[in-house]
Amino acid sequence: MPAAIRARGLEKRFKSVHALRGIDLDIEQGEFFALLGPNGAGKTTFISILAGLTRATAGRAEVMGHDVARDYREARRQLGVVPQELVFDPFFTVRESLCFQSGYFGLRRNDAWIDELLLHLGLADKADTNMRRLSGGMKRRVLVAQALVHRPPVIVLDEPTAGVDVELRQSLWAFVRRLNREGHTILLTTHYLEEAEALCERVAMLKEGRVVALDRTADLLGAAGERRLELKLAPARLPASLEGRLVACSGDRYCLALPDYAELESILATLRQADVTVEEMALTQADLEDVFVRVMREAGG
State the chain's mean pLDDT as an integer. 91
- Between strands 202-207 and 210-216, the pairing is antiparallel
Report in angstroms the alpha-carbon separations of 198 from 125, 201, 288: 30, 9, 10
Taking only the tens place, the pLDDT of each residue in 116-161 is: 999 988 899 999 999 999 988 888 889 989 999 999 999 999 988 8
Pick the closest to residue 206 from 301, 276, 118 (CA basis).
301
Q: Look at the pTM and tell me if it is higher than 0.85.
A: no
Taking only the tens place, the pLDDT of each residue in 210-255 is: 999 999 998 998 776 667 899 999 999 999 999 998 988 889 999 9
Bond preceding residue 259 cis, omega within 30 of 0 = no
Quote the CA–CA distance of 258 and 56 in Å, as a whole number. 48
